[in-house]
Each structure stands twice: as C-alpha cells, then as structure tokens.
Amino acid sequence: MYYNKKTILFLVFIALGSGCSNVDSNTNIKNNAPIVSDIFIEGTVQTAKTLTLNYIFHDEDDDSEGNSTIVWSTQSTELQRASTKTFVIPKGHVGETISAYIYPEDAHGLKSTIKYNASNNLQSIIGIEDDNNENNFSTSLPIWIIGDSTVSDYQEPSSYRGWGQLLKPMFKNADRVDNRARSGASSKSYVNSERYNPGRFWGDGETLSKPNNKKGLKQIILETNTTNGGYLLIQFGHNDRYGNGRVYSEENTTVPGIGNEFDEKLMQYVKFAKEHNITPILITPVSIMYYNRNENGGHTVSELPDDTPSLWEKMTGKEGDWPETMRKIAKREKISLLDLTKKSIEHFSAFESDEEIINVYSRGENDKTHFNEKGAKKMAQFIKELACDSDSGNTNFCKQFLE
C-alpha cells in the first residue's frame, strides 16, 4: 500500500501522541512512562527477616530501569522508601500488616505517577517481641548502656563506680558491651550535649569524621551491623528530677508523666532502637541510699502506708513520677522494664540506718547517690537478677550473662 508524505507524518504523529508522558528536548521524541507487572512480596513476614519485592519491568521505549521508588509500610507507618528491592522488618510491629508498592522509573529519570501495589499485600507480621525467639538467639549481640553518673564508667584513682561499669564483666561477650552513660546527664541533656564527656552523648546521627570514642552513640549504632539484633539499656531520672530545692531547668530537668517531656525524651531512644532492630530495655533509676521502714517493719514499697513517703518521694518531691512514667511507657510500648528503683529501695530498707548503707555502699564523703565498687556491683547484680527473673520475658537477654 502506498502512503504519501503527509499521510505518513500524520500516522507518526498519532502513534507518538497516544499514551505519551514526556518529550526529549534534544530529539523532540516523546518518552512513555514505564509500568510493572507480576508484583509480589517474597520472604517470611517476621521480625528481623528480609523481604524482597519482585516484579517485571516494562518500558514501551525499551528503556532500562532507573531508580524506581519502592515503599514498605504498615497500615499506619511508612518504614522504608528507597530504590532497593529488599527490606528488613524491624522490631516493634508484630501483629501489624506489611505492604509494598512501587513507582517505576526508566533510565532517563521518567517516573510513573501510577502506584503499583504488590498482589500479596497486607500480610500480618509474626515474631516474638518478648525476646524469647530461640531461632534468633545469639550471645554476641551488641549491648549499649545510656544513663547518668550512677551508671557511668570511672577510672582510678576515683572512688566512684557506676553499675554499668560493673555490669559489663558479667556478660559472656563483654567486649561487645559499650557503656555510654555520662555523669550529669538527663534524658534531655544526653541528646546532644558532649560538654561533660566527649563521646558520651546521643548525637544527630550524621556521619562524623571522629574516632569511635568521640562520636555520638546514634552514629555508632548506625555504623554497627544489627541484623541479628542488639540491646539498648536506658536509665534516666536522677538529673531529670526537680522539687525539694531543685528547680526546673530547660537544660536538664523534664516534666514526668505520660505525654509530657520525660515520656517524649525517652521515646526518642526507644523508637530509634526499634527502628534498627535493637531491643530497648528501660531501667528505673536506682534509689538514693536512704533507709526506710514502716511501723510494722515492712521492707517493700507496696507495704508502705499511704501517708508514709517512699524513698523516691524523698528524692524528688514529685511522688515518684519519673520511675512510674517509665513503668507506664514500658506497658504502653510493650517493652521490657527492670524496676531497679523498687529493687534497690527494698534492699536499702533492710538496713538499720542511712549511715549503715553509706558505710557499705557509698563512695564516701556522706554521698547518698554515688556508689563505691561494692555498691555498684550490688546494683549490677540486681540488673542481672531482674533480667533473669522467670516472669520478666527477657529469656535471650538473660542468656547474654555468664552463669
């Protein structure tokens, strides 16, 4: 069949005009947006497992695939947006449903505006959030500790010792335990201040051209392989408190209670840990070395009469709201809590006086807050006991300890 020149030009115009979405400025030829088909999620939908989004890429112009955007999310939270096809399911989402979709893009940078969903979306994530998954158990997981002076490391000839310093040698792989607690730190000031001790702060997670002992902990975690998990132990409260002569400070103190500052500050550590496959463990602040016993000789907090101030109330003047806030956060977030406040109060209540406690556990100078080596070791032993309690739900964390 014969076509004149005008007919051919018209047919070419019609062909190029149908379904086009971009025009190359150099050649004036229209470029069609790519599409994908046969989209499905492959892999076990379980915490710490790797999923892959499989699909077939099609391009009418025979362009190769560029940086297609793949999004992984639960029904309420976007978890990853990237060009990679793989995704590791973080902790904290058991029972939620996982979905994935893609915006295909060709090698020229033309991206489809159509969202293509996986055919097997909305699968329920399985996993064991109480740290009892034997399949993922390892005794060489990284462990980080953050907190204040009652937790910190100290060097000779200092008489100070923190429980974090004495806890480290209790683990099977002590070389993987990094105590980043800092004297004077609160849940608020620990975030971005390294004024007191370089390297003992959270940081913003940016790449820093510093040695590891100078970097913020957030950056250290980002540079650590946590595919198999890890632990973040969190104790704050001492320097967050105000009352009984202590005034509220914009730099250090926080308002306790769910929905207030203390909750907000603690949650930034908890959320970051979960997002990076790390198990957060809240530890209520160790008590100050006060003797306390009710008229009937009871030693536990629950046995104290309503009109008798608890030891933590003596410390804060705020009715114990900081440790209580931690308990409520742990319950709300379904994460582990080791109640060192209660455990230490019960222990100190077995003594006959403040002076007796100080003589045994204090670093000296009538200091009721800071421990000597014996006191710090006792508190570290309490951490292990609480973690290994049969009702604690910390089976794998307990196995990190030496027998």
217 and 84 share a domain? Answer: no
The pLDDT value recorded for residue 28 is: 57
Question: Is the confidence at residue 3, as pLDDT, over 90?
Answer: no
The pLDDT value recorded for residue 311 is: 43
320 and 260 share a domain? Answer: yes
Q: What percent of the chain has pLDDT over 70?
A: 75
Q: What is the 3-state secondary structure (H, E, C) of the chain?
A: CCCCHHHHHHHHHHHHHCCCCEECCCCCCEECCCEEEEEEEECCCECCCEEEEEEEEECCCCCCECCCEEEEECCCCEEEEECCCEEECCCCCCCCEEEEEEECEECCCCECCCCEECCCCCEECECCCCCCCHHHCCCCCCEEEECCCCCCCCCCCCCCECHHHHHHHHECCHHHEEECCCCCCCCCCCCCCCCCCCCCCCCCCCCCCCCCCCCCHHHHHHCCCCCCCCEEEECCCCCCCCECCECCCCCCCCCCCCCCHHHHHHHHHHHHHHHCCCEEEEECCCCCCCCCCCCCCCCCHHHCCCCCCCHHHHHHCCCCHHHHHHHHHHHHHCCEEECHHHHHHHHHCCCCCHHHHHHHHECCCCCCCCECHHHHHHHHHHHHHHHHCCCCCCHHHHCCECC
CATH number, domain containing residue 51: 2.60.40.10
Evaluate whether residue 46 is within a structural domain. yes
What is the extent of the structural domain holding 111?
31-124
The pLDDT value recorded for residue 346 is: 87
* pLDDT per residue as tens digits for the range 12-54: 433 333 334 565 555 556 789 999 998 989 888 888 888 999 9
Question: Is the confidence at residue 160, as pLDDT, over 60?
Answer: yes
* pLDDT per residue as tens digits for the range 81-131: 999 999 998 877 877 888 999 999 999 999 999 999 998 877 777 654 444
114 and 152 share a domain? Answer: no
Into how many domains does the chain fold? 2
Q: Which of 154-158, 201-205, 291-295, 377-381 has the lowest mean pLDDT?
A: 291-295
Evaluate whether residue 6 is within a structural domain. no
Task: Specify the pTM.
Answer: 0.63
Mean predicted confidence (pLDDT) in 389-399: 81
95 and 233 share a domain? Answer: no
Evaluate whether residue 349 is within a structural domain. yes
